[in-house]
Structures are given as C-alpha cells and as structure tokens.
Amino acid sequence: MCSGLLLLALVRPGALYGAVRSGCRLILRATGARVTFEGEVPREGTFIVMANHSSFIDLFLVPAILPGRYTGVMAEEMMQVPLLLPVLRRLRVVPIVREQFERAVSSLRMAEDALRDGYHVAILPEGTRTTTGQMLPFKSGPFYMALHTRAPIVPVGITGAFELKPKDRWTIDPGPVRVRIGAPIPPEEYEALGTAGLKERVRAEIAALAGPAPP
C-alpha cells in the first residue's frame, strides 16, 4: 500500500486524498475495528478538525472523515518512515516538536498556510495519547491558530478506540468504534471566548461527542 501511495503522490497527486481515505478505512478493517460514523465534515468551506486521542488508530479514523484536500499536524518522530515521507510531504503534513516552543510555533504557521490554501487541518489537541482513557488537557497552540486564522472548528468525539488498542498494550482487541462529528463552531464566537474559553468549549464538545463506549 505504501508503494502504491508513493507512486500516486508522484504521478497523480490530486487523486492521493481519496486513496488515503480508502487506505485508512482498509487499515481500520484490518485491525478489527467495527467503525460507525455519525455526522460529516461540511463539504463547503475549510475547517480545523479536532478530535480526542486515545489510540494509534485515531491517525486512520480522522483522515477517513475528511473531504476534499486535507492535512494534519503530526509529531515529528512519527514522520521518520522513509517510504511514507514523500506521501506525507505531498499531503503537507506538518511535523511538530512538542518540547521545542519556537519550532512548534513555526509548525503551526505552516498549518495556517495550509488553511489559507484551502486545506482542512486535522489536529489532536491533547498532543499525545491518553493512558487512562480519560482526555488529557488540551494544548493552547491549536486555539491560537484558530483565533489567528478564524477558521471554524469541527469537534470530533472518538469512542471505543482506547478499548481496541490503548497506548500501553501491545495487543489489539477488535470491537466497535464510534466517530461522532459535531457541528462547526463559528469564528464569530471566538472573540468573546478568548483562547482559554475556546479551548474549554471545544474540549467540552469533544467530551460530549465521545460519550460512553458503544455496545
């Protein structure tokens, strides 16, 4: 699959986004995840899509729901697979170094450029996977970016991914996974909320969308 995506990235880059979406869904089926999707990201406009992060499969769940052209913010150490690197670059995936503030700010500027160029940007604002199943505090950087670009935020709640494969367990336990896509939060609400208020608003919406595990 990696070699096929690499060839597509070089020969027909416009077709790459649909191929990645289909590839993500194939990988999810291979893990035994029985995924249901509720709602959808609007097809008109450009959005920052934010979701909770409890499992490695989140990296395949989020691209599976993104229409049109899209990119995402990814920890730099996860972009070291040589065969995948040209594909990630073609997708304009933004590497971020969490421990280095100046480089993290520079990475978010790259994400802002992608938004202005018509790409959806996917971010997991916890920054790392939870080890308890409970959401971690959100980083502030994505919300500074939202205020700066005034791009609407689409909250997404993922449920069941932690039970399937948490960070501290090597084995996969196949089961149901639910992805709920909320209504966009319009930028007209940002100014009154400020960075801290917007962060808490999005966190509350994602927590409500995640809800209890599916049966």
- Inform me whether the pLDDT recorded for 100 exceeds 70: no
Which CATH architecture describes the domain 2-210?
3-Layer(aba) Sandwich (3.40)
- Inform me whether the pLDDT recorded for 215 exceeds 80: no
In angstroms, rounded to a whole number, what is the distance separating the alpha carbons of residues 206 and 158?
Answer: 8
Per-residue pLDDT band at 2 (split at 50, 70, 90): very low
- What are the sequence ranges of the domains in the chain? 2-210
pTM: 0.86
Q: Of 98, 37, 46, whose CA–CA distance to 71 is shortest?
A: 46
- Inform me whether the pLDDT recorded for 110 exceeds 90: no
- The arithmetic mean of pLDDT across residues 3-25, rounded, is 62
pLDDT one-digit tens code per residue, 64-94: 999 888 888 877 666 665 556 666 777 777 7
Token match 């149901």: residue? Answer: 176
How confident is the prediction for the chain on average, in pLDDT?
84
> Which of 24-28, 41-45, 154-158, 192-196 tops mean pLDDT?
154-158
How distant, in Å, are the alpha carbons of 66, 80, 118, 122, 140 from that of 48? Answer: 10, 25, 11, 6, 14
